[in-house]
Each structure stands twice: as structure tokens, then as C-alpha cells.
Structure 1
Amino acid sequence: MSNKLPSAFIRSLIQNYNIEGEEFIKSHESGEQLTSIRLNNFKPSSAFQEQKEIPWCPAGRYLNERPSFTADPLFHAGCYYVQEASSMFLEHVLKHTTDLNASNKVLDLCAAPGGKSTLISSLINEDSFLLSNEIIKTRVPVLTDNLTKWGPVNTFVSNNDPRDFKRLGAYFDIVVVDAPCSGSGMFRKDPDAINEWSESAVLLCSQRQQRILADIYPALLQSGTLIYSTCSYSKQENEDISDWLCDSFGLSSIQIPIEMEWGIEETLSAKHKCYGYRFYPHKVKGEGFFIAAFRKTGPSPEAQIKRAKETRINQHSESIIRNWLKPELDLRILGLQDDFFAINKEHEADLQYLQSNLYLKKSGVRLGKVMGKDLVPNHELALSLILNGSVQRIEVTREQAISYLKRDELKLETNVMGWALFCYQGHPLGWAKMLGNRMNNYFPKEIRIMNQSIT
């Protein structure tokens, strides 16, 4: 039927799900590329407010064309995240499976680059916390950077294999597993992925998904929510996994309400009639996606979390740091070698428990180092939601912001002396130290704009 899409792949979709084969193929041959973003409600801005809203995600927007995000200071400030529209359906699933007003411990198991983690961060309350885990070490920095830009303090990042979470016992109220998959849902967006697809690759992915889910299942609390998703169309990676979960563990399927005009297909697995939700590009304004939700009904040994061992930094350092933080927040300031970071006070016991069992890469907000009578502030503090509003700020134009983000030489006429927060349209970009006739740019070198053609 098509020289482009594998015939076995198309045949399986028609046989298993009776899809409209010709329309499905045309949607891939059209060359249409969709661009969507999700606004950060913690950092309201003028960015894309008037664009068309994604129906299952109120903060999501379809863009008429793809701009240069790298050339937009608001992107670097964390005012929005570039995310595929179909995957934003996670918000709708969370709202219909979980009490988001409760205090929840949430795990995003396969989290990089951070789309689903920033979405979860937007939905949970301050008493909850999110642990974003990435298995592949080289992908952890981009995950950490994206969560830093998003701003909240109640986020941790870990770099662990799923089997490591067994050490926690039943601990999380919500576990999100966006599993590694054969990637057929991305064929339109990434045509090169077609050449990598095979039936054997699908089988291998299915086996890997089962291992990941088996490893993480003990870490889910009884009555907790498991949300499983892939960017694959293959039955073996989706509905068959749902049946396998019900065969292997004490899980029950959760039906999610959907609107007919959204074009999302509700499916039932063959054996246990588990609900699943499929996104096809000829029916939905988005790429290929599958998601299913489950409730854990079987018991598990619950995690035994000890009362936090209260750790105090020296009074001199704490008094200096407190001046940089919003006074109304109940934060715990902790030391890490010669650095300091802040978490919500009620999460200290959880942090100690996680540190004793996992390899954490980020905990709350990194604040900086105390040098004499001053704090050398960290970039995380600049983009966080805990920074004191009294900190010196310098508002810059777009051109000045781009120069700052490139770490180019930048001369400003200002009376500000000492540490200052560079801001664009009121949104922090990072730190600089003003020294009279010159400035030291403290924007991190590893995330600076490298493309010198951007002006």
C-alpha cells in the first residue's frame, strides 16, 4: 500500500484496529509538521496566549508556524515548554485518576527531556513532590535544565535503573512510565525512524517494557495510580502490555472520559478489556501516541520512612542565604559539600530516604556558595519560584537578552552594583555581577546560545 511505511506495520493496524489505511498513509505522506507548546502557569507571559488551545490541556497551544525558540528569551526563562500535543493528554488522565489536591509522591520514571515532568510539576500542589528519573546518564543534564527553568522547589531528579526502586518499598502514589518503544508514532515527525522499525524490534521493546514495569511495580502504593504510555502503534507494546499487567499484578483498568470531537480512539485489550487511548495523526491534531491508566489493588510492603534527622547549616551562612529567599516560604536550607540547596521543610524525611536508596542528581533548588559575607548565587536560584522579590534586577531588551544568553560582551548603562538578576519582560534569565564600568556574566556556559547567527 505504501513504499514508505512498512507493509506489515500497516496491515497490523488495519487487522487489529480497522484504521482507515489510505487516510493514515496520506497523513504521513503530506509532510505536515505540527508545532505545539505548553505555557508555564507559574511564569505567565505574553508568549502564544492567543494561539489555538489544545482541547485536553488548557495550557497547551497549537502554533501556526514553528518559530526559532532558541532566539526567544522567554523560552530560556522557562515561560513555556515545546511539547508534542498528544503527549499533553497526560494532564487529562491525571485529573481523572488522581486527587491532585492531596499530598502526592509522584515518580516520572523515564523522564528526559522533561515534557511530562514539567506538566506534572504544573499540576501537583506544594505539599506534593515529583521525582523525575532518567535511566540514561547523558540525558540527565537536559532533564535537570528543563526542570530548573520550570521553577518549583518540590522537584528532585535521579539517575537510576528501574530495578533500583524496589529498594524503596511501596512509596509512590503515582507512577508515570512513558516507556522506551519502537517509535512508530513518530514516523511522520521523524521519517528516519521508519528505517529502524521492524517486527523484531517491536518484540524486543515489548520485552523491555515488561521488565521496566515489573521492576517499578513494587514501588507503587496500594490504591496508587500507574500511567503507562508509548509513542508506538503496535498492539504488542500497548494493549498486550495492559493485559500482561493485569495477568501479572493486582491492577485494574481505569476508563478516562473523552470528547468525541477530539478524535481519540478508545480501545479495549483482548483479554481483560483494559481501556487504552490511541492517537492517530489522520484523526487527531498530534502525533501517534498510546496511554492507559491503572489502579493498584494488590498489597505491597509499605515504605518505612523514618523521621527526618534535622540537619542545620551554620547560622552565619543561613542568615546570608535567607535574605535571598521569599520569607513567607517554609524552606529547609541544606548543605552539599561547599554548596547549599533548598527544599520544602516537609520533604526533608523523604529526601533523606531517597538519598539512602537512589542516586540523586538534583534536590529542590540549588542556591549557591557562601563566600565571606555574600552568596555567589546559583543559576537554579535565578529561575526558581523561591527567590526574594527584593533582589536587584536589570530589565533588558530582546537584543541585550540574546547577547547575555550567548555570553557575548554586553555594556549597559546602569547604577546597579553587585549581584543583579537579568530579566526580559519581567522574567529572570540569570545572574550577572555589575562592577561599575563592566559586568561579569554568570549565565552557565554549558547552556549558552551557541548559534552566532541568532541576533
Structure 2
Amino acid sequence: MAGTPGWQEAAYCRVLETGEQVQSIRLNPRKWTDSQSLSFPVEAAIPWTQTGYYLDERPKYTLDPLLHAGAYYVQEASSMFLEQAVKQLLPERGGIRVLDLCAAPGGKSTHLLSLLPDDAVLVSNEVIKSRVTILEENLVKWGNSNQLITNNDPRDFSELGGLFDLIVVDAPCSGSGLFRRDPKAMAEWSESAVELCSQRQKRILTDIWPCLKEGGLLIYSTCSYSLQEDEAIADWLLSQVEAESEPLQVDPAWNIVETKSAQKAAFGYRFYPDQVRGEGFFLTAFRKREAAGTVSGRKGKNKLEKVSKQQVADISEWLKPGLSQFYMIQENMVGMPEQVDSLLSELGSLYVRRAGVTLGKWADRKLIPDHGLALSNEVHEAVNRIELSAPQALQYLRKEEIQVPGSAPGWNLACYKGLSLGWLKVLPNRSNNYYPKEWRILMQSGR
């Protein structure tokens, strides 16, 4: 780290020795906007984002039903600086297509969805199959329909041509920026790991650059302090492609260190935990100044089975009018807005794990609703709801039976503070809890 811009060794070491852990969350603006009515107090707003807050101490997030309803996301404060890059460099975001290439567990993707208008569309990709599950869970909780989740290697995107207006590459890195938060990161760090990560980062950028539109924006970030993974990567990229480094306006009071790379004077932004209230982070942005390849169109994709007009009519009572395209994918009915359907048709042979909103299974002209529909922002206001107390909500999240006398028979949304947690089916003598078994919480109160 010695010699990196803005590095203050003594101050940094003092911060690490304190063992302080910074707690921060980011609200979901489509579900929850009042920071004062959360289940725990917030201390102060994070200055570089409109929806992020510092906390005095770490709550028991697992035992907070609002987390499971998608009211907020637990995210490291420095990484929320992505918002400044998106807002400053893409002030007009209507109808754009965005790719979050290394998306798990979902912090950048949920943030991007909060910054995008409804007519934009986000593709959240994760190359590691075992990490896609947590990405999917977090995006389902966030509730947007203008999204797709894919599980592909970056090289799989290179043949698609200029599909995207914005690509975010939160690259795999050596993790030195996490030393305070995660002592294991220090034990696993090595100079050879830095070199390996640098080579991997170059391959990722080489693979993904062709599918950025001319004039499109690429935002690159790491949680590493190493020059080889930060400014040197910016120099390397600018030596390989026709692009411009994009500066950002940063309030001096934020104590973010602005840097310029050694060869190409590319702008970068460094976060040090002794200077900002957050962990180590680096971000830089580039504007593409060369023609993009042509879009390949769908290759090797089976034609999706369209839902009949009668089926669309039958499910209309479940949905707001935002979804316009409906398909049967295996056993599930799926709904999506037009812009998602359009992009889906251009993704070639990519493996798409989820698109739009999974509505549920169709049987005997009736919908057996999916959990994704329950948490979606597209579920109709007229669907029956049952408001649960905090103890009842935890019972529900543990997939225990809930007693709800006087509730309307049939399908009901189990809600906490007005937000849906999932489905309850009320029968004459009991209710069936349809919370996903794999999502149920195991922690008991007080542990």
C-alpha cells in the first residue's frame, strides 16, 4: 500500500487497531422511505447517497421482518458511491439497458434498480453458480420487474454486440479494502493474489467491452487498495480501447481521495477507513468512444410459450397494469414489461435464470401464486392482506403455522408494517404458510 495516493499508514493502522465496525443500510425507495420508522434507530445519512444511513450499532437483521420484506439492504457505505457516478454521468436514464456483470450478492444491483426509471432494464449476472442463489433472493425481495438474472462467464457476453448503455464491473479483487471488516481477508492476501486478480480483471474488461454501446459508460470498482488493481487497470484499459476517463464532482468534506493514473491521467476515487466512514473502495469510470459491434439476436434459444388471452384475463386480478408480456417457462407463468421482453430476445444463448416476475404455477384456470409475486411491486392492491404483529411475522418467517381468525378465505398476503412477506392460504380450520422453505429463518430471539 505504500506509495498509493492518499495513503496515511499511521492513521490507517490506528483505525484497524480499534476494531470499529461501521454499520450501514440503504433503503428501498419503492417500498420504504421513512428512515425514522425502521425497526432500529439510524444515526446519520451517508452523504454520497440519498437512501443510505449509518447505524449506531449492529441490529439483529435476521430477526427484522422489514429486511425480509425488502425494505432495505445491508450494504457497506463506501460502495454506495456508485450512485454519484450513475447520477452525474448518466443524468438521463430513461429506457437504458444496464449490465451488472459481477452482481452477487446484490448490493450494486439493488442500488442500480433504485436509480433506474421503470422503463429501463437491468441484467444482473453472476459467473459463480453457487452465488446466484443469494443474488436471486435479494433481487426478488427488492421487488422490481424490470430485471433479468443471468449466470454466465463474461466471455459469453462478448458476442452480443453493443447492447448496453451502462456496464458496472465490481471486479473480483484481492480484498485489501476489507481488512478492517474481515480479518480473514488479511490472512488470505498476498502479492501473488494481487497479480492474479489484476490479470483476471483485464480478461473481464476485455470480454465485456464489445457489448457496451458507443457513447456508453463503464464503471469499474474494487475493494482493493493495490495500484495494480486500480489505477494501473485504468491505464491498461485506456491503452487498449478508444475511451475517455470521466471525472466526478466530489464534495471535499467527504474526504474521498481523487487520483490520476500514472500513464493516462485517468480519474479514480479512493476511500480509506481512516478518512471516510466506510471501508476501502476504489471507483473509476470510462466513456466508450468507438463503434460497438452489431447485436447478434437470439441464438440457440427455444421460443418461449406465450400465455393465452384467456389466461391473461384470468390473472388480471392479481396484477397491476405494468406487466404486458406473459410466458410459460417450464411449469411457471412469468410476466414482464415490454423492455425486459425485448432485451431477452437479444441475449443470444446466455443462460437466463429469471426474467421479470415469476407469477406462479397454472392449474385448472387458477394461479398458485409464487413467492416472487408476493414480494413484487406488481402485485395488485386488491389482493387480500393480513397484517401481522412482530411476533407473528417472525413465526411466519420461520415457516410456522399462523392463526389468523376472521381473515378472508383463500390466498392472502402476510404483511408486516404494510409490506408483504409472502403468501398465506386461509382454510376453514387452519392457514397454510407458503414461505419458501429454503429462506426460512432459524435464529431464535435473543440468540
Q: TM-score range by the shorter chain?
A: over 0.9
> Which residue number in structure 2 is paired with residue 223 of structure 1?
215
TM-score (norm 1): 0.94
Give the C-alpha shift of residue 50 in structure 1: 5.1
What CA RMSD, in Å, does the superposition of the two structures yield over aligned residues? Answer: 1.7
- Output aligned runs, 1:217-366, within 5 Å: 217-303=209-295, 305=297, 312-326=306-320, 328-354=321-347, 356-366=348-358
> Which residue number in structure 1 is paired with residue 439 of structure 2?
447
Q: SS of 2:422's equivalent?
A: strand
- Output aligned runs, 1:24-423, within 5 Å: 24-44=12-32, 46-47=37-38, 51-303=43-295, 305=297, 312-326=306-320, 328-354=321-347, 356-423=348-415
Which consecutive aligned stretches of 4+ in structure 1 deviate over 4 angstroms post-superposition?
A: none
Q: In structure 2, do the counterparts of structure 1 residues 271 and 314 end up closer, same or farther at CA, with 3 Å as the change threshold?
A: same
Instruction: Output the CA distance in 2 between the equivalents of 1:207 and 1:436.
Output: 62
Q: How many residues align structurally?
A: 440
Instruction: Output the CA distance in 1 between the equivalents of 2:339 and 2:2.
Output: 52
Q: Pick the aligned partner of 2:7 from 6, 19, 27.
A: 19
Give the C-alpha shift of residue 305 in structure 1: 4.8
CA contact (8 A) 1:221 1:302 kept: no
Q: SS of 2:361's equivalent?
A: strand
Q: SS of 1:368's equivalent?
A: strand
CA contact (8 A) 1:110 1:134 kept: yes
Instruction: Output the CA distance in 2 between the equivalents of 1:365 and 1:124.
Output: 17
**Structure 2 unaligned spans of 5+:** none
Between 387-396 and 344-353, the greater mean CA deviation after superposition: 344-353
Counterpart residue identity of residue 72, structure 1: D
* Identical-pair percentage: 48
TM-score (norm 2): 0.95
Q: SS of 2:291's equivalent?
A: coil
Counterpart residue identity of residue 41, structure 1: P
**Structure 1 unaligned spans of 5+:** 1-12
Give the C-alpha shift of residue 342 in structure 1: 0.8
Give the C-alpha shift of residue 330 in structure 1: 4.7
CA contact (8 A) 1:135 1:159 kept: yes
CA contact (8 A) 1:420 1:433 kept: yes
CA contact (8 A) 1:430 1:442 kept: yes
Instruction: Output the CA distance in 1 between the equivalents of 2:416 and 2:342.
Output: 37
* Cα displacement string for residues 400-444 of structure 1 (whole angstroms, at most 9, x for unaligned residues): 000000011322222310111000011000001100220111000
Q: SS of 1:202's equivalent?
A: helix
Give the C-alpha shift of residue 351 in structure 1: 1.1
Counterpart residue identity of residue 360, structure 1: V
Counterpart residue identity of residue 14, structure 1: A
CA contact (8 A) 2:159 2:296 kept: no
> Which residue number in structure 2 is paired with residue 4 of structure 1?
none
* Cα displacement string for residues 77-99 of structure 1 (whole angstroms, at most 9, x for unaligned residues): 00000000000000011111113
